[in-house]
Structure 1
Amino acid sequence: MDPIEPVHGTATLLLIAGAAVAVLLFLIMKVKLHAFIALVLVSVVTAVVAGIPVADVPVALTDGFGSTLASVALLVAFGVMIGRLLEVTGGAQVLADTLVNRFGEKRAPLALGVAALIFGFPIFFDAGLVVFLPIILTVARRFGGSVITYALPAAGAFAAMHALVPPHPGPVAAGSVLGGDAGVVLLVNLPIVIISWYVGVMLVSRFLAARIMVPLPDLLFGPENGGQDADGEGATKTIAPPSFALVLSILALPLVLISFNTVLTTLITEGVIGEGNTFVDVLVLLGNTPVALLITLLVAIGVLGPRGGRTMSETTSMLDASLAPICSIILITGAGGMFGGVLRTSGIGEALTSSLSGIGVPLLLQAFLIATALRVAQGSATVALTTAAGLVASQAEGLGDVQIALLVTAIAAGSTVLSHVNDSGFWLVSRFFGMDEKTTLKTWTVQETTLGLAAFAVAAIAWPLAGAL
């Protein structure tokens, strides 16, 4: 649903948005109301108070809810089933052991983060987090301590790549709107991602993990090799774990398929490849994230399912049981998208950014502040990226390619900070790693903010140098 013509002034809309977030946090953290119920309730009230016509409120609610579920539900479901297969058969343990043996116990979080940076080049944040979930949790179970020691470096790496580096849609769209070159954006932002991830994620996660204890969640883990079988019937089976090469191949399969989609879509958008090529269309379809994960799940069922003599019926029962814990995750994530959708439809984000676009500050800082305002107001990083780019595009005329790339960096940095309750990614991280809302604000929100600030700081330092080129 498109944004409505605001019926309130900017100040009133901002007060409504702030009050909505405050009430939501109060209901969840103080009243202990279930997050899904609280999100739906606050979304309904906010829609009415913000001036969305009563007849249009159901559409505003279901648009945000449905669009979020469309992008998240299949990924989470397929990903958790793949993860459960890897965990039950010992595949996740094999991969975790190999990583740890190569890097050492003390460098396990660094190893997970570096691997996520590499895998995050073609794969989106939510899909990457789902695929990496069994490895993160297996390493955390092996060494103990706070699970965020291992979760935040990897999750932050996926978030950094998704926000800053082509061929992800946000930076590609922003670069295109600003008239930049996607290749230059890629070359400029890759080193910025590495620096900002290490400073804003790796170092910060160490600081947070030393002070905040988050126990290992039971989302994925059940009886493992040699214990009660996954169908819960008490059968004991000794299963020889799969090889490292096999596990790596299974994890690499969706990454390869998604790479086809991401790269080919970018080439089509840039006009390098013409539309209507059947072979290209088939590769793009196979690389669509849900389709890629479905193919990977079928391969995993065929390769890992029969290990230890497990029948297809037993494998199906095990996969069915793996879905139960994620129903709440999917619903809460969808409701978070509903809340963000209501804020977008009400015109809150648009009103805020229109008032900021003429504040008379330097262009790079202005771009960062506008993107930050959009991010805080409506939650979606991609929406913040593309909208902020459009608002500053007229001021980017005459800039060189490197400066445009740094402008994209500043916008992406602003669209990353302050992830909170209107961001579906906030709820994914919260529920995947068993954190309540307060803990997620103290960890994930803080880390996303330091990541964005680090990226903006690097861009600000490089800006005068780029202007001299």
Structure 2
Amino acid sequence: MTDLSVEMLAAAVPAPITSAGNAQLGVAVLAGIAVIVLLITRLKLHAFLALTVGSLALGACAGAPLDKTVASFTTGLGATVAGVGVLIALGAVLGRLLADSGGADEIVDTILAKAQGRAMPWAMVLIASVIGLPLFFEVGIVLLIPVVLLVAKRGSYSLMRIGVPALAGLSVMHGLIPPHPGPLVAIDALHANLGITLALGVLVAIPTVVIAGPLFSRYAARWVDIPAPEHAVPQRPTTDSGHRPRFGATVFTVLLPVALMLMKALVDIVVDDRENEVQRVTDIAGSPLIALLAAVLVGMFTLGRAAGFTRARLATTVEKSLAPIAGILLIVGAGGGFKQTLIDAGVGQMILELSTDWSVPTLLLAWLIAVAIRLATGSATVATISAAGLVAPLAAGMTSTETALLVLAIGAGSLFFSHVNDAGFWLVKEYFGMTVGQTLKTWSVMETIISVCGLGFVLLLSLLL
């Protein structure tokens, strides 16, 4: 990926807080991850606490002084929250406006009215992908599952034929496309260009979601042929005036931050002159903070006011959107602390040295690390954060395109084979009324297809760009 020597890359790594050798550091990494896995899976401890304890265990096993370990963890936590916390909050506000105003329902109803028969799985992918842009994965599932069940029941479709494409659209957005927490944290940790990562992420996401969604759903429907559960469709939310935002205005609002960030990336590539006035404007407008803030402010009118929301109702919607993300912010922050502890202990330098003896490409190495942590912890976000911390030194000296592809490789690895230690596994199982075996044959296989295809398209882009 880069022609720089190991010595030049190592110069960018700060002095470690411990003098432990590679063997001890390797044991410390395994111990830290094992503690996190044990606390999350066996003792059911919250991921924030598990990551905090795991960071301290890592430092202790590496022989680092406790005060320096604590300093590394708190520094990483603060930097991560400062870098992505506001973006997560703005994404939550936009998602809540989309749901409460009925804008999400408007998108769903409009697309479904145009799709019939064989086009329905493709329509479900489109719906999930558009709605999944500003929404967290769990929120997207809660929002879309009633639609999936309704379509399957009224249209006499196989539940898997409709449900798998919707889940694939949500999952791909969650793992590969900012402003979702995982990709944002990886971009921040590897100092990647958000616009370029977003553009390349879309290129990877489109063929990946087609394969894992509509195409795979044909086989999933044969393997697991079940009807929609009878407790199927809850009542949809009603708005203050009984009106909903228009389809065009809703789609414009959802895609506004994406368009601004892509515009910035395009101008950066074409102009590439920091003194140019156009590039200065797009650098500001396309920054994640401004792009998401603009979408939220626009959404208050195109979504909230169009649905008849008063100023008080808008204020309440914003307030309610922020409370549920406290846990996400803490997990992401603690993951950043764990990442910084890994770096400061010298683990990144260790991987940098060992990787010279491995005939494993950097992108594949990053994917494998994310896969291992995903399988162990069940959390895509934890896998992304931890893997980004481990491979961060390898990003030194890379071009913007190479770093963006490294982020996407980590994101793809973080989605590999969801199983019983993943909350999403149980969410899908319960909503669709499946057994554990049926969930493994559908949801888990779908996640694996996304992960492997994502890596394949990332490697392909690395050869072409």
User: What TM-score comes out, normalization by structure 1 length?
Assistant: 0.66
Q: Are 2:63 and 1:47 equivalent residues in the alignment?
A: no
Contact 2:366–2:406 under 8 Å retained in 1: yes
Contact 2:27–2:61 under 8 Å retained in 1: no
Provide the C-alpha distance between the structure 2 equivalents of 1:24 and 1:340, rounded to a whole number of angstroms. Answer: 13
Give the CA deviation at 1:206: 8.2
Give the CA deviation at 1:92: 0.7
Q: Are 2:237 and 1:224 equivalent residues in the alignment?
A: yes
Taking the TM superposition and a 5 Å limit, the aligned residue runs for 1:12-161 are: 12-104=24-116, 110-111=122-123, 113=125, 128-130=133-135, 137-144=142-149, 150-157=166-173, 159-160=175-176
Q: Which amino acid aligns with 1:246?
A: A
Q: 1:332-385 deviations in whole A, cap 9, x for unaligned? A: 2221222222222222233134213223x4xxx443443346646884466677
Q: Which amino acid aligns with 1:155?
A: S
Provide the C-alpha distance between the structure 2 equivalents of 1:136 and 1:26, rounded to a whole number of angstroms. Answer: 27
Provide the C-alpha distance between the structure 1 equivalents of 2:46 and 2:140, rounded to a whole number of angstroms. Answer: 29
Give the CA deviation at 1:128: 3.4
Give the CA deviation at 1:455: 5.0
- Larger mean CA deviation between 63-72 and 196-205 belongs to 196-205
Q: Which amino acid aligns with 1:150?
A: A
> What residue number does 2:262 align with?
259
Give the CA deviation at 1:195: 4.4
Give the CA deviation at 1:94: 0.5
Provide the C-alpha distance between the structure 1 equivalents of 2:248 and 2:425, rounded to a whole number of angstroms. Answer: 27
Q: 1:251-271 deviations in whole A, cap 9, x for unaligned? A: 12222222233333445xxxx
Give the CA deviation at 1:90: 1.2
Contact 1:88–1:222 under 8 Å retained in 2: no
Contact 2:35–2:57 under 8 Å retained in 1: no
Provide the C-alpha distance between the structure 1 equivalents of 2:425 and 2:276, rounded to a whole number of angstroms. Answer: 39
> What residue number does 1:234 align with?
none
Provide the C-alpha distance between the structure 2 equivalents of 1:308 and 1:432, rounded to a whole number of angstroms. Answer: 34
Taking the TM superposition and a 5 Å limit, the aligned residue runs for 1:38-437 are: 38-104=50-116, 110-111=122-123, 113=125, 128-130=133-135, 137-144=142-149, 150-157=166-173, 159-160=175-176, 194-199=206-211, 224-225=237-238, 237-267=240-270, 272-307=271-306, 309-359=308-358, 361=359, 365-372=360-367, 375=370, 379-380=384-385, 387-388=393-394, 415-416=410-411, 418-419=413-414
Contact 1:61–1:341 under 8 Å retained in 2: yes
Q: Which amino acid aligns with 2:145?
A: A
Contact 2:25–2:347 under 8 Å retained in 1: yes
Provide the C-alpha distance between the structure 2 equivalents of 1:39 and 1:431, rounded to a whole number of angstroms. Answer: 19
Provide the C-alpha distance between the structure 1 equivalents of 2:15 and 2:119, rounded to a whole number of angstroms. Answer: 47
Q: 1:37-69 deviations in whole A, cap 9, x for unaligned? A: 222122223223323443322331123212322
3-state DSSP class of the match of 2:20? Answer: coil
Provide the C-alpha distance between the structure 1 equivalents of 2:406 and 2:307, rounded to a whole number of angstroms. Answer: 51
Provide the C-alpha distance between the structure 2 equivalents of 1:56 and 1:390, rounded to a whole number of angstroms. Answer: 24
Contact 1:417–1:445 under 8 Å retained in 2: no
Provide the C-alpha distance between the structure 2 equivalents of 1:409 and 1:79, rounded to a whole number of angstroms. Answer: 21
From the superposition, tell whether residues 357 and 420 of structure 1 become closer, same or farther in structure 2 (CA, over 3 Å).
Answer: farther
Unaligned runs of 5+ in 2: 1-12, 150-158, 179-185, 229-233, 374-382, 417-421, 430-435
Q: 1:250-291 deviations in whole A, cap 9, x for unaligned? A: 112222222233333445xxxx43213344223211211121
Provide the C-alpha distance between the structure 1 equivalents of 2:23 and 2:412, rounded to a whole number of angstroms. Answer: 22
Provide the C-alpha distance between the structure 1 equivalents of 2:86 and 2:19, rounded to a whole number of angstroms. Answer: 37
Q: Are 2:22 and 1:10 equivalent residues in the alignment?
A: yes
3-state DSSP class of the match of 1:130? Answer: coil
- After superposition, the CA RMSD in angstroms is 5.0
Contact 1:409–1:456 under 8 Å retained in 2: no
Give the CA deviation at 1:77: 1.7
From the superposition, tell whether residues 143 and 128 of structure 1 become closer, same or farther in structure 2 (CA, over 3 Å).
Answer: closer
Q: 1:7-31 deviations in whole A, cap 9, x for unaligned? A: 2232322222222222212212221
Give the CA deviation at 1:2: 3.5
How many percent of aligned residue pairs carry the same amino acid? 24
